[in-house]
Amino acid sequence: MLTRKQHELLTFIDGHIKATGFSPSFEEMKDALDLKSKSGIHRLISALEERGFLQRRHHRARALEVTRLPNVPIQIATNGDIREEGSFSPTVIQGDFSPRLPGVRAAPDAAAVQLPMYGRIAAGQPIEALRDDGQHIEVPIAWLGAGEHFALEVAGDSMIDAGILSGDTVIIRKGESAETGEIVVALIDENEVTLKRLRRRGNSIALEPANARHETRIFPVDRVKVQGRMVALLRKY
């Protein structure tokens, strides 16, 4: 799943190419997304490249190619929420609302749910130890699929090139499996938790940062347990 800013940028680039035949400039992208600097655009483009939505054609100026669009189109509402577009537009439902998702509770707005906040992700603590049952965070229900979800606050800069900054809140779908290339919460040796991109290499697992200043760590399969995979990101400005 793309973050809202990633989806906004991908949509803008795709529309600009279709309208003009060439990709927009970094200045145009910065203005379109109302960002203060071009460095944010660089991070978003790198994240879209990593996920296979964009491709840069080197040795050519302003040469970005949209290689694919999200499988499920989303609509960004005027209030900032992101929801999936479907064959119908639901109206407000009067009465009680009980989402059929384990691990969540209904927020005051029926379009959102409250997820448990597991605190600040940091090495040295199992994920369950971070949980504070008194803390919850409200997210649009359209961001969530089936299964149990929780939220984590990110500490550190190891994933900045994937568009994940220190202080961001990531939404995690609980589970013990993940595809190679997905960003996961991984438990190492039963006591260290980290947020990294997972790569499977034979009988080993590589936990890959998205920052050249950090090193990829490689472990035998039995030393790493996937706690869940990232499905969305929240950021406060």
Per the structure block, which two tokens stand in for 132? Answer: 């504070």
Beta bridge partners of 234: 169
How are beta strands 217-220 and 204-208 bridged, if at all?
antiparallel
CA distance 78 to 202: 46
| Residues written for the chain | 237
Region for residue 51 given its phi and psi (left: phi exceeds 0; alpha: psi -120 to 50; beta: otherwise): alpha
Given the residues 5, 30, 158, 225, the one annotated as active site: 158
Question: Does residue 177 have an active-site annotation?
Answer: no
Residue 60 DSSP one-character state: S
Given the residues 5, 30, 196, 225, the one annotated as active site: 196
Question: Does residue 30 have an active-site annotation?
Answer: no
What amino acid positions are annotated as catalytic residues? 158, 196
